[in-house]
């Protein structure tokens, strides 16, 4: 069906009603007063809610609902849309209203060439807010076209703090010593296993919802968008990456693991599949701070952007889920400044600029895990001897203590549910 002005007149009216009626949990995000935004993140992370939030803020500041233009480019009525149809949006609005519209475009990356339209709108001084689920929207090529006219932000699923607040768990100053502690620990078990996708809180069968989400991302955001022909090889690569969380892994090793199952692939294909998964915002990778350039590019640790997506692939994966939730937390905070360290010893997470090192270990205390204790502690000690650290942490499932290592330094052993709320 051809796209017409009437199509957009209908969508604009529906979008206004949606903004009017939506009920929000107010996630912490501060919009610049006159800023235009490109918000990028994995599907269902809450990007649409950020658009709703900004629209509600502008309405509260005195703008009228009739000024709002909210278009969801995932709408099946826009499947055949091309960049030449963008002008119909403004024409449709101006055929009904005399105001200057406030523009909210959801999943706009579905229409190739969107960035040129976005730049034109910015040049004409419109207020524009855009979301998308493809990291290419933050690429140098796109940013060059946009010319610095937009602020870009990555939107993640709920942090553990947001996860608690969304369920009405508000923490007092002394929450660690009362009944609230048990609620936090219980909520952490859910967060560790199922992650922080906001909509997932509404469902009982969480694995089914996550499986459906993963299939939508895989087929829509990876296979279809990148015209991948060997879908089976792609599936096997992502599965092997999930099973290799915690381990520095080369792309060649992944290729060999896939080929061992009888599925044809190559190292070059694995590199491309991993890139496509990162573009779809489901994966991120850490480099080894201690390795040379070539190895930095070819041997990495790969993590999933949400524990729920990782858990789709795992059985009895508590240790992998614990390390993954730590990786997410640190990645959000430090971005490209976060590494792992492996040279004679291995430290899970290392922020050299801030002299911080973090180990993730499900349990280190007790005689049955004495080897784990020695390995985790010795690795931090040796890294500290190489580059004096300001903070050393071992994040566990539920253990807490302090381990002195010299007169003025110590290692903190902290339960993950406490560490995530720091």
Q: Which residues contact 373 (CB under 8 A, 6 or more apart)?
A: 364, 365
How far is the C-alpha of 302 from the C-alpha of 246, rounded, in Å?
A: 8
Residue 82's CB is within 10 A of a number of other CB atoms, namely 10
Q: Which fold has domain 203-315?
A: Arc Repressor Mutant, subunit A (1.10.10)
Long-range contacts of the stretch 14-20 (C-beta < 8 A, 24+): 15/68, 15/69, 15/70, 15/71, 15/72, 15/104, 16/65, 16/66, 16/68, 16/70, 18/52, 18/70, 19/52, 19/55, 19/56, 19/59, 19/65, 19/68, 19/70, 19/104, 20/65
> Please, are residues 136 and 161 in contact by the beta-carbon 8 Å criterion?
no
Residues 5-154: name the CATH superfamily. P-loop containing nucleotide triphosphate hydrolases (3.40.50.300)
pTM reported for the whole predicted model: 0.93
3-state secondary structure at position 110: helix
> Please, are residues 233 and 273 in contact by the beta-carbon 8 Å criterion?
yes
3-state secondary structure at position 3: coil
- What are the CA-CA distances from residue 154 to residues 32, 133, 280 (Å)? 15, 10, 12
DSSP 17-61: HHHHH-----------TT--EEEE-STTSSHHHHHHHHHHHHHHT
How far is the C-alpha of 258 from the C-alpha of 252, rounded, in Å?
A: 10
How far is the C-alpha of 417 from the C-alpha of 41, rounded, in Å?
A: 24
> Please, are residues 31 and 37 in contact by the beta-carbon 8 Å criterion?
yes
> Please, are residues 89 and 101 in contact by the beta-carbon 8 Å criterion?
no
Along the 422 residues of the chain, how does pLDDT read in single tens digits? 689 999 999 999 999 999 999 887 778 888 998 899 999 999 999 999 999 999 999 999 999 999 999 999 999 999 999 999 999 999 999 999 999 999 999 999 999 999 999 999 999 999 999 999 999 888 887 888 998 899 999 999 999 999 999 998 888 888 887 788 889 999 999 999 999 999 999 999 999 999 999 999 999 999 999 999 999 999 999 999 999 999 999 999 999 999 999 999 999 999 999 999 999 999 999 999 999 887 888 899 999 999 999 999 998 899 999 999 999 999 999 999 999 999 999 999 999 999 999 999 999 998 888 899 999 999 999 999 999 999 999 999 999 999 999 889 999 999 999 999 99
How far is the C-alpha of 3 from the C-alpha of 394, rounded, in Å?
A: 56
The DSSP letter of residue 100 is P
Token pair, residue 317, equals 């994966």
The DSSP letter of residue 137 is G
Q: Strand pairing partners for 351?
A: 356
The full set of domain ranges for the chain reads 5-154, 162-192, 203-315, 318-422
């Amino acid at each position: 069906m051809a796209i017409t002005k009437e199509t957009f007149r209908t969508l604009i009216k529906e979008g206004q009603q949606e903004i009017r009626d939506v009920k929000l949990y107010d996630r912490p995000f501060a919009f610049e007063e006159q800023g235009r935004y490109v918000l990028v993140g994995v599907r269902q992370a809450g990007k649409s809610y950020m658009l709703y939030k900004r629209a509600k803020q502008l309405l509260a500041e005195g703008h009228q609902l009739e000024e709002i233009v909210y278009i969801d480019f995932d709408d099946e009525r826009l499947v055949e849309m091309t960049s030449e149809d963008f002008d119909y949006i403004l024409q449709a609005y101006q055929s009904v209203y005399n105001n200057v519209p406030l523009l909210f475009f959801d999943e706009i990356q579905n229409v190739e060439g969107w960035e040129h339209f976005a730049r034109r709108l910015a040049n004409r001084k419109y207020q524009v807010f855009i979301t998308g689920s493809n990291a290419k929207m933050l690429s140098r090529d796109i940013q060059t076209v946009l010319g610095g006219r937009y602020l870009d932000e990555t939107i993640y699923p709920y942090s553990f703090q947001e996860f608690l607040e969304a369920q009405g768990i508000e923490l007092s100053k002394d929450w660690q010593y009362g009944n609230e502690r048990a609620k936090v620990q219980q909520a952490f078990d859910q967060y560790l296993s199922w992650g922080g996708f906001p909509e997932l809180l509404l469902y009982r069968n969480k694995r089914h919802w996550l499986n459906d989400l993963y299939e939508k991302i895989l087929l829509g955001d990876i296979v279809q968008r990148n015209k991948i022909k060997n879908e089976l090889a792609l599936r096997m690569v992502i599965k092997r990456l999930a099973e290799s969380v915690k381990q520095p892994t080369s792309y060649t090793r992944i290729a060999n693991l896939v080929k061992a199952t009888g599925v044809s692939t190559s190292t070059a294909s694995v590199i491309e599949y991993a890139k496509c998964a990162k573009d779809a915002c489901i994966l991120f990778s850490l480099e080894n701070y201690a390795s040379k350039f070539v190895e930095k590019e070819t041997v990495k640790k790969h993590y999933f952007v949400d524990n729920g997506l990782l858990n789709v692939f795992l059985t009895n994966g508590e240790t992998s889920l614990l390390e993954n939730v730590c990786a997410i937390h640190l990645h959000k905070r430090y971005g490209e400044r976060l590494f792992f360290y492996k040279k004679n010893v291995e430290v899970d997470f290392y922020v050299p600029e801030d002299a911080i090192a973090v180990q993730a270990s499900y349990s280190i205390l007790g005689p049955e895990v004495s080897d784990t204790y020695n390995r985790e502690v010795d690795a931090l000690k040796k890294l500290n001897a190489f580059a004096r650290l300001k903070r050393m942490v071992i994040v566990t499932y539920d253990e807490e203590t302090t381990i002195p290592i010299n007169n003025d330094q110590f290692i903190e052993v902290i339960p993950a549910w406490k560490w995530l709320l720091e």
